[in-house]
Amino acid sequence: MATIEDYGTYETAWCPGCGNFSILKAVKQALVARGLESHEVLFVSGIGQAAKAPHYLNANVFNGLHGRSLPVATGAKLANPSLTVIVESGDGCNYGEGGNHFLAAIRRNIDVTVLVHNNQVYGLTKGQASPTSSEGFVTKAQPEGVLSEPFNPIAVAVAMHASFVARGFSGLIDHLSGLIQEAIAHHGFSLVDILQPCVSFNKVNTYAWYKKRCYPLPESYDPTDWEAAMKVAQEWGDRIPIGIIYTTQRPALEDRLGRGTLVGQDVDRTMLKKIMEAYK
């Protein structure tokens, strides 16, 4: 049985007070609670401060290109379905650069868990707006304030019947860890959009700002009720619901393909000869 210590401790590149620290803790907690050992897990990340998180624990890691975690994760999962594959990156990676892949992964219902560190800003590149920045958010790159409506990942995911959609907050570690556990346990595409402050570059959506607004969905809320989820997905502003917003059962792509693992498989040369002879 793995312990938190097995997951290691690493020096990070994060600013003191960054929400990433809490999220990292919640992730480790969740992995331990799920009884997962380091070598059983593959983290796939992109580029950004959030994407560095997988480097700060003991696991298999593919830290790839900005926005391209989901395709890599999809390929890896299809190759070896026994891996627990977790995509961990920021809002820029997942909703901006990787927007098309976000939609496609939901459609496929590939069994990966997607943890999005959503701090509503681009931290690593020093403060430009992200797809989830509020309208009017002022940055050096958007001196007139953001002129587009923010991307609502929860609404899009629910509208597409993504099979597990949740929102968490880095300030509520145990709650978040619970969500991550459920997301990993869920068989199919699981999204956990994790609100977090960026102490260096987002002076609007601060820890206090989120703390005031985030509220856990009540026990009575039924996340299998799609229409209710669509309503909850629109809720943003003074009140921000956190918890499992929608979940359903849909077969995962790898199950529908039924290939099993692609690794270490021989070539069926007898079959190949038959295939070749069909060209005669």
Partner 1 sequence: MATNRAGSDPTVGEPLAGSRSRRDKPLPYVASKDVLNILIGGEAGQGLVTIGQMLAKVLVRSGYFIVVTQSYQSRIRGGHNTFAIRVGADEIAAPQEPIDVLVALNAETVTLHRDELLPGGLVVADESSEVSCDLCLKVPYKTFSTNRYSNVAALGVLGALLGLDEGLIVQTLDELFGKKDSDVAKENQRVLAESFRWAAEQPSPVKKLVRVSNPPDRLMMGGNDAIALGALSAGVKFYSFYPMTPSTGVALNLAAQAKKMRLVVEQAEDEIAAINMAIGASFAGAPSMVATSGGGFALMVEGVSLAGMTETPVVIVVGQRPAPATGLPTRTEQADLEFVLHSGHGEFPRAIFAPGTVEECFHLTRRAFELAERYQGPMFVLTDQFIADSYRAVAPFDVERLPAVRAGSQQTEIATPYRRYAITDSGVSPRMLPGLTRHLVVVDSDEHTEDGHLTEDLPVRKQMVEKRLRKLAGIRAEVVAPHADGDEQADMLLVSWGSTKGAVAEAAARMRSEGERVATLHFSQVWPVVPEQFMARLQAARDVVCIEGNATAQLARLIRRETGFEIKKRVLRYDGLPITPEFILRELNV
Task: Give contact residues for partner 1 (rule: CB under 8 A).
Answer: 37-40, 42, 44, 47, 52, 55, 58-65, 68, 70-80, 82-83, 100-101, 103-104, 257, 259-260, 262-273, 275-277, 279-280
In the bound complex, what is the minimum distance in angstroms from residue 273's beta carbon to partner 1?
A: 5
Minimum separation from the CB atom of position 41 to partner 1 (A): 8
What are φ and ψ of residue 8, in 5° steps? 80, 170
Nearer to partner 1, 68 or 117 (CB): 68
At residue 252, what is the residue type? A
| Residue (of 152, 149, 139) closest to 202 by Cα position | 139
Q: Which among 263, 249, 261 is positioned nearest to 109, based on CA atoms? A: 249
CB of 89 to partner 1, least distance (A): 12
Closest approach of partner 1 to the CB of residue 197, in Å? 23
The minimum distance between CB 248 and partner 1, in angstroms, equals 22
Closest Cα partner for 48 from 65, 70, 25?
65
CB 89 within 8 Å of CB 46 = yes
* DSSP code of residue 97: I
Question: Which residue's CB is nearer to partner 1, number 83 or number 116?
Answer: 83
Closest to partner 1 by CB, 73 vs 180, is: 73
Q: What is the DSSP letter of 187?
A: S
Q: Which of 29/84 has CB closer to partner 1? A: 84
